Structure 1
Amino acid sequence: METTPTLATLTNFQENGPFMYSSGLPNAAHFSLLKEKGVTHVIDLIPGDRSSEILTTSELGLDYFNVPVDWEGPTLANFLNYAAFMQSVEVSEDKVLTHCKLNWRGAAFTYLYRINVLGENEQNAKKDLMAIWHPNPTWYAFMNDVITHYNALNNRQVAMSFNAALPESD
């Protein structure tokens, strides 16, 4: 027996603010539900052939943008590309879904955007991040690079209030 998709069935779905959502990989039914919730823009952080999602979002009239983030090597350029797109969004009218496969990349990117661009309290943004995952050393280093970049740009001293997750041993 198949259940009707809801946003609760969308992997690691979060409302990160009035205009920001993040999640794991949505299916076509989830995209329809998100559109009903007011989502107008989709940022996909998954690399590779995304033609199926491009078609699905296009058919629904959603603005689609792909930032292909390599899981083993996220870069400052990836985040700056993401941030540039986010800043084109009319936050009083539009809503954005940032997604990847499990919302690990998405949670990291929304956390970084919230603390570096929106100026939100790091502790508040951290709660959403940690509800999804605890960044490993690779992602922690990437996130630190992004924060260092924005600290220099904005003459601020934002810092992560957590350490990298310890690598799992075999």
Structure 2
Amino acid sequence: METDPADIRGWQRLSGDVTTSGRLEEHDVARLAALGVKQVVNLALDSHPEALADEAGRFGAEGIAYTHIPVPFDAPAEAHFEAFRAAVEAGPKPVHVHCIMNWRVSAFFYRLHRDFQGMPEAEARALMAQQWVPDAADKPEWQAWAEFIAPKAD
């Protein structure tokens, strides 16, 4: 059994069936396949300078399902979250979810854990904080993310 590739930027194992990270490099495709990953979900934009070229084709060649949900860093939306939730909850497992820094991903899983999987808020926040805390008080440009992760009124 392969061990977790902790040298991938922002690598995090959330459970036996869920791993996350920042950007992937060409050699990481085979490494994720060796781990038994059955689906990759990418929240980054293809236009980012660190995006892996032809990511869908590379994972497809390994027999790994691929879902691309391009989330603009300055404009995360509910439609992005719902597509992410559907892919993670209904797609093949194990699943690996990534972006460039593991910031988008950590915020998305924070909401999923807190709002849909019954994880206590403090525990969900602690998992997110291992990668990023989008605090708009410190960085006003992160306001969209602070709003995105805020609890929604019923």
Is residue 2:44 matched to residue 1:46?
yes
Deviation at 1:51, TM superposition (A): 5.6
In the alignment, structure 1 segments of 5+ residues that lack a partner are 1-5, 153-170
State, as a whole percentage, how many aligned pairs show the same letter. 24
Which portions of structure 1, spanning 4 or more consecutive aligned residues, are displaced by more than 3 angstroms?
48-51
Q: Is the 8 A contact 2:110 2:149 kept in 1?
A: no
Note the 1:1-170 alignment, pairs <5 A.
Answer: 7-48=5-46, 52-89=54-91, 94-135=93-134, 136-144=142-150, 147-148=151-152, 152=154
Deviation string 1:22-76 (CA, Å, 9 cap, x unpaired) is 1001113222212222211100001236761011101111100011101001101
In the alignment, structure 2 segments of 5+ residues that lack a partner are 135-141
Give me the whole-angstrom Cα distance separating, in 1, the residues matched to 2:19 and 2:40. Answer: 10
* TM-score, scaled to structure 1: 0.75
* TM-score, scaled to structure 2: 0.82
Residue-pair matches, total: 140
Deviation string 1:82-140 (CA, Å, 9 cap, x unpaired) is 111222135xxx21111001111011112211222222222222122111111132201
Q: Secondary structure at the match of 2:15?
A: coil
Going by fraction, where is helix more abundant, 1 or 2?
Answer: 1
Give me the whole-angstrom Cα distance separating, in 1, the residues matched to 2:42 and 2:23. Answer: 9
Which shifted more, 52-61 or 110-119? 110-119
